[in-house]
Amino acid sequence: MSPAAGGALLGLLGGAGWVLVLLGAPVRRTPSLESRVAPYLSLPVRHGWRGAARRALAAAASACGSLLGSTAAVRARLDVLDPAREVAQHRAAQVVWALAGAGAGAGVGTAALLRGSPSAPGAFALVLTGALGGALLRDAALARSVGRRREELAAEVPAVVELLALSVGAGEGVAAAVQRVASGGGVLAGELRRALADAGTGTPLLDALTATADRLGVPALSRATDALAVAVETGSPLAAVLRAQAADAREAERRRLLEEGGRREVRMLVPVVFGVLPVTVVFAVFPGLAQLRLGP
């Protein structure tokens, strides 16, 4: 980049910064009479071009946050994996991944500059692309971990609900049955132990189980906890309700496995159609073409 272009870029950035400072100055933020009265009269508030600029910047910031993973979405995902983990830890990991991506982009851009192929703006674009790609990859890795965790939980729901039905059918109460099932191994058993710990601090057990199901976001578990709460409130036989929920959970898991098998069958066709079949056609046609070329 030439010195003139660098000076022009710095001047443009400085001018944009001063414009933002002037727009956000306290003198410029003085509300008008119309904006103060409009909320009480159900009138649309007109902010002029400054309001439109602020809304555009807010929309851009929201879109950028949604792209990199909003705070609410990250918090919901971390609650599935580890509720004690903070959003700031994920953001720090995103920064590390972004720096690694920027370093990779800088390496590629430097190598290309040494060969003289791209310009300096192109190398800078590679650095930005690498940083953004690293942050997005970290968010995608978190989403994939959450998906695997929910699959594990959904697979354990039928067995856990069936064990609860057996314990309740043997004469134990809901709390004793949950404590017995939570003493075993598995991912869902650990979540039940966390719900029992919450119940030990004063939260009702059914509310703790419902909150755990809402936090994990597994439909089968949510249906089971809702049915358990309704059965306790209405006095319905708990063992029969839990057995029905276990059967529904097994059926839902069977449907999920069939759908996953169908998707994997389609994926298996990709290497066959685009890899094996063209090679087979080439091996079948090439000898004939070679024979035609060698013929008189």
Does the residue 40 lie in any domain? Answer: no
| Total domains in the fold of the chain | 1
Does the residue 93 lie in any domain? Answer: no
Mean pLDDT of 199-206: 88
- DSSP state letter for 85: S
pLDDT of 121 > 80? The answer is no
Does the residue 92 lie in any domain? Answer: no
Does the residue 103 lie in any domain? Answer: no
Task: Find which of 5-14, 49-58, 182-191, 265-274 is predicted with most confidence, using mean pLDDT.
Answer: 182-191
Q: Please report the pLDDT score of residue 69 as a whole number.
A: 65
Does the residue 171 lie in any domain? Answer: yes
Tell which wins on pLDDT, 165 or 63: 165
Rounded to whole angstroms, the Cα distance separating 243 from 236 reads: 13
Write out pLDDT tens, residues 227-276. Answer: 888 888 888 888 888 888 888 888 888 888 888 888 888 888 888 888 88
Domain that holds residue 227: 149-254
Q: Measuring CA to CA, which residue among 224, 225, 233 is closest to residue 252?
A: 224
Mean pLDDT of 209-216: 90
Task: Grade residue 118 by pLDDT with cuts at 50, 70 and 90.
Answer: low
CATH number at residue 169: 1.20.81
Q: Other C-beta atoms within 10 Å of 105: how many? A: 22
Write out pLDDT tens, residues 139-161. Answer: 889 989 999 999 899 889 988 99
Does the residue 172 lie in any domain? Answer: yes
Q: Please report the pLDDT score of residue 108 as a whole number.
A: 81
Write out pLDDT tens, residues 13-44. Answer: 667 667 666 666 555 556 666 666 666 665 55
Mean pLDDT of 178-190: 88
Q: Please report the pLDDT score of residue 97 as a whole number.
A: 92
Does the residue 115 lie in any domain? Answer: no
The pTM for the full model equals 0.66
Q: Please report the pLDDT score of residue 267 as a whole number.
A: 83
Does the residue 207 lie in any domain? Answer: yes
Q: Please report the pLDDT score of residue 145 as a whole number.
A: 92
Tell which wins on pLDDT, 57 or 218: 218
Buried b (16+ CB within 10 A) or exposed e, 1-14: eeeeeeeeeeeeee
Mean pLDDT of 162-178: 88
Please give the backbone phi and psi of residue 47, each rounded to the nearest 5 degrees, phi first: -105, -5
Torsion of CA 199, 153, 254, 261, to 10 degrees: 160
